[in-house]
Amino acid sequence: MKHFLPAFRILLFLTLVTGVAYPLLITGIATTFFRQEASGDLILKNQQPIGSVKLAQKFASPKYFWGRPSAIDYNPQSSGGSNLSQNSLDLKKLYDERMVTLKAANPSQLENPPQDLLFASGSGLDPHISPAAAQYQIQRVAKARALNSSQLEKLVNDMTKDRQFGIFGEPTVNVLSLNIALDAQGLLNKE
Amino acid sequence: MRISDYIQVIIFISALVLLAPLLGAFIAQVCEGQKTFLHPALSWLEKLTYKIGGVNPNEEMNWKEYTKSLLVFNLFGFIFVFLLQVFQSSFGLNPQSLPNINWHSALNTAVSFVTNTNWQGYAGEVTMSYFTQMLALTVQNFLSAATGIAVFIALVRGIKKSGKTLGNFWQDMTRSTVYILLPLSILLAVALVGQGVIQNFSSYAEATTIEGVKQIIPGGPAASQIAIKQLGTNGGGFFNVNSAHPFENPTAFSNFLQMLAIILIPAALALTYGRMVGSRKQGWTIFAVMFAVWFITLVGSIASEYMTNPTFQQAAIMEGKETRFGVVNSLIWSTVTTAASNGSVNTMHSSLSPLAGALAMFNMMMGEVIFGGVGTGMYGMILFVLLTVFLSGLMVGRSPEYLGKKIEAPEVKMALLGILAPCACILIFTAISAMIPAGLSSVSAKGGPHGFSEILYAFTSATANNGSAFAGLNANTPYYNVMLSIAMLVGRFIVILPVMAIAGQMLGKKVSPVSAGTFSTDNALFGFLLIGVIVIVGALTFLPALTLGPIVEHFLMINGQTF
């Protein structure tokens, strides 16, 4: 077959171009100009990584702000959502459980918690919550840290990011950054 | 919807309508072998490819030779991707020491990437080494897209030219890669890294979180693969959860760039087509048809998602959606990725409201011609155009002609084969899987109609070479890996072969001059007829199946019924 040899050689050559040279070129550009972003925005504490600012991690203590529920328990080894349908009984049960937990943890709030705290994210690693979801938790965190809630309100407002360029997406609060800021402010840990 | 939602939809549409003609003009130059502004920088690479391949790019091929070289090239691509996976641990760039991949998963993935489907039966971060991601998967992201463009170019030449030959496959495929896909990918990849998509070769970092839990943080050369995954309408993610993963799609702006990248080349190719056949109006008519159908599915999806679900007494439910994107960006994406045969996701389609899920399926069921895949969308659309011309000819009692060439029985038969074979494949495979234990045991929704929707979605997505999923279905089993592989092959090659045959047939026909009785194919009337044919074929074929799945789900949902 006269096409076999050209097919084989062109495949190998274009593999080198698109599968080796191209990713290496991008890696070169990335590490030169965007080193921190390209390596996953890891946060170090005493030289040890404590997480990535882009990935959610689990917060269950009342003195930290909580992120969105995760169908994979915040394990990046198997990113994913629940894939439950909107008329799934399992989803309804999870929803009810989360509602009970959140209301018990935030007794001063009379309203229902915002949606994003009740429904799991798509990736299971969503690092953000809505500003409303952060505000919902202020009283609880303030109480657990024996703080004045107005201090926390200011912090949450400072940490709230508007839509990107004022247009794209939704306003967000990065949960990990917020919690690190909380600890870093030396705002007392009541332990 | 809020004002901010409208603004985002309008910006997306404006960017699409502004950029598509520019890119379409550029692609037409490349396809016709004209010098472009990129030639001084890149023509050495094109020439070097021919030299190493030992091919003469000026050697013209007839349609059979063209098809043979395409098939051999794809066969070798398949073997290469398969072997790299099953012997993965023997190669380097595997910092996590990931093991070899079993035969049925490797088979599925190899077929999937060669057919431009990029269905993911595997979870990238715990399955594929960096070596496999780059040399097997990234490469086929390029080459399967370039193959699609080559088939498109061949068909246009068949319609436009007269003679015996359609050009040279190696030349068309190489030019598509070198001048179109590679430069755009470099641009997009750099922009994505700037937004925070990762690109490294580090081993996975082990973090101890603030509350003291161990968290393994993955790495990898993701940005380079994601750029071509979107531009080539491939859609296979670097990570399991695809573009919902914050490492693949970290910001609302990276999301915007990726949505645009998904649809840009397919949209541009409609306008390329107009230029290549010598009538830009032809191109704009097809573009308008694609745009109109896509827009209707977007509006429908938004309406469905904003309907209150009585079970939760909430609308616009955030299950499976990411905070940074919000609801509207999730729906622009779900319609764009299924209209174009991309299949990457930024939201979990299985958790969309039932009708939004149905519209995602319907986009694929129409044969992936609403923008569709790179190249595949346009050649699929031309099959529908020929069918519409033929039907219109029957209605007015004239012998049908398209762009001056007569449409006769062989072309219509081939067009019908290319349109109906995938439909049959979807319905038959879904029916089989819904009846036998090997098919049913993978279903995750235990009761109610959602389990059927999972199966229907899987075979629709595979056959349409889309690759998105109702991911509750555990498809990484021998049964699904093999069945879905067959579906992907049918959806790819039982369309390419008839298209190439039509190209060959049309090439030999005489062009007759335009007369007062010529049925014009570049006006609104034809646009409506074309939409009618596409929607009716799709609706008549699939409405019963959709009724059993998502449509029933919708009515149960609005009555507050859960399963």
Which range (B75-79, B212-216, B515-519) has the least confidence?
A: B515-519
Same domain for A75 and A33? no
Q: Which residues contact B461 (CB under 8 A, 6 or more apart)?
A: B117, B119, B343, B364, B467, B468, B469
Q: Which domain holds residue A157?
A: 40-184
Residue with tokens 């107009």: B274
pLDDT, mean of residues B290-319: 96
Question: Which residue, B31, B181, B189, B62, is CA-closest to B116?
Answer: B181
**Residue B267: what pLDDT?**
97
pLDDT, mean of residues B114-136: 94
Q: Report A:102-131 residues touching B (Cβ under 8 A).
A: 115-116, 118-130
**Residue A185: what pLDDT?**
78
**Residue B294: what pLDDT?**
97
In a domain, A12, yes or no: yes
Same domain for A69 and A120? yes
B152-168 as b/e: b if 16+ CB within 10 A:
bbbbbbbbbeeeebbbb
* Residue A191: pLDDT band with limits 50, 70, 90: very low
Same domain for A12 and A80? no
- Asked if A176 reaches chain B (Cβ–Cβ under 8 Å), the answer is yes
Q: How far is B78 from chain A (nearest CA, A)?
A: 11
Residue-wise pLDDT tens digits, B140-165? 999 999 999 999 999 999 999 988 99
Question: Which residue, B353, B373, B355, is CA-closest to B364?
Answer: B373
Percent of chain B with pLDDT over 90: 92
Cα separation, B456 vs A17, in Å, equals 38
Same domain for A174 and A107? yes
Percent of chain B with pLDDT over 70: 100
* Residue B315: pLDDT band with limits 50, 70, 90: very high
Q: With 50 as the cut, is the pLDDT of residue A190 above it?
A: no
In a domain, A189, yes or no: no
Same domain for A105 and A160? yes
Whether residues A87 and B561 touch (CB distance < 8 A) is answered with yes
Q: How far is B234 from chain A (nearest CA, A)?
A: 15
Same domain for A112 and A155? yes
Q: With 60 as the cut, is the pLDDT of residue A187 above it?
A: no
B177-205 as b/e: b if 16+ CB within 10 A:
bbbbbbebbbebbbbbbbbbbbbbebebb
Which sign, positive or negative, has the C-alpha torsion A102, A105, A111, A115? negative
In a domain, A190, yes or no: no
How far from chain centre, in Å, is Cα B129?
25
Cβ atoms within 10 A of the Cβ of B393, count?
18
**Is-contact B389 B282, C-beta < 8 A?**
no
Whether residues B193 and A125 touch (CB distance < 8 A) is answered with no
pLDDT, mean of residues B257-267: 97
- Asked if B484 reaches chain A (Cβ–Cβ under 8 Å), the answer is no
Tokens read off for A30 = 């990335």
In a domain, A180, yes or no: yes
In a domain, A114, yes or no: yes
- Asked if B187 reaches chain A (Cβ–Cβ under 8 Å), the answer is no
User: What residues of A are in contact with residue B72 (Cβ under 8 Å)?
Assistant: 1, 3-4, 7
Cα separation, B425 vs B543, in Å, equals 16
Whether residues A54 and B247 touch (CB distance < 8 A) is answered with yes
Q: With 60 as the cut, is the pLDDT of residue A188 above it?
A: no
Tokens read off for B326 = 């919000």
Residue-wise pLDDT tens digits, A132-159? 999 999 999 999 999 999 999 999 999 9
The torsion region of residue B506 among left (phi > 0), alpha (psi -120 to 50) and beta comes to alpha
Residue-wise pLDDT tens digits, B28-55? 999 999 999 999 999 999 999 999 999 9
Same domain for A86 and A174? yes
Residue with tokens 């992907």: B488
Find the CB nearest A86 among B142, B326, B354. Answer: B354
Same domain for A128 and A74? yes
Residue-wise pLDDT tens digits, A108-138? 999 999 999 999 999 999 999 999 999 999 9
How many interface pairs between A and B have CB atoms less than 8 angstroms apart?
Answer: 357
pLDDT, mean of residues B232-239: 94
What is the rounded average pLDDT for all residues in chain A? Answer: 93
Same domain for A95 and A153? yes
In a domain, A191, yes or no: no
**Is-contact B208 A35, C-beta < 8 A?**
no
Residue A51 bridge partners (DSSP):
A43
Same domain for A28 and A73? no
Selected residue of A37, A48, A86 to mutate for chain B interface (largest B Cβ count, 10 A) = A86
**Residue A186: what pLDDT?**
65
- Asked if B351 reaches chain A (Cβ–Cβ under 8 Å), the answer is yes
Same domain for A67 and A29? no
Which residue in B has a C-alpha nearest to residue A162's C-alpha? Answer: B324
pLDDT, mean of residues B474-491: 96
The three-state secondary structure class of B215 is strand
Q: Which residues contact B296 (CB under 8 A, 6 or more apart)?
A: none
Question: Which residue, B353, B534, B525, B350, is CA-closest to B454?
Answer: B350
Cβ atoms within 10 A of the Cβ of B512, count?
11
Selected residue of A2, A5, A14 to mutate for chain B interface (largest B Cβ count, 10 A) = A14
Q: How far is A28 from chain B (nearest CA, A)?
A: 9
* Residue A85: pLDDT band with limits 50, 70, 90: very high
**Residue B320: what pLDDT?**
96
Strand bridging mode A48-52 / B205-208: unpaired
Please give the C-alpha separations between residue B321 and each of A118, B7, B97, in angstroms, as whole numbers: 12, 20, 32
pLDDT, mean of residues B160-181: 95
**Is-contact B344 B230, C-beta < 8 A?**
yes
Instruction: Quote the number of domains for chain A.
Output: 2
In a domain, A61, yes or no: yes
In a domain, A179, yes or no: yes
**Residue B447: what pLDDT?**
78
Same domain for A87 and A177? yes
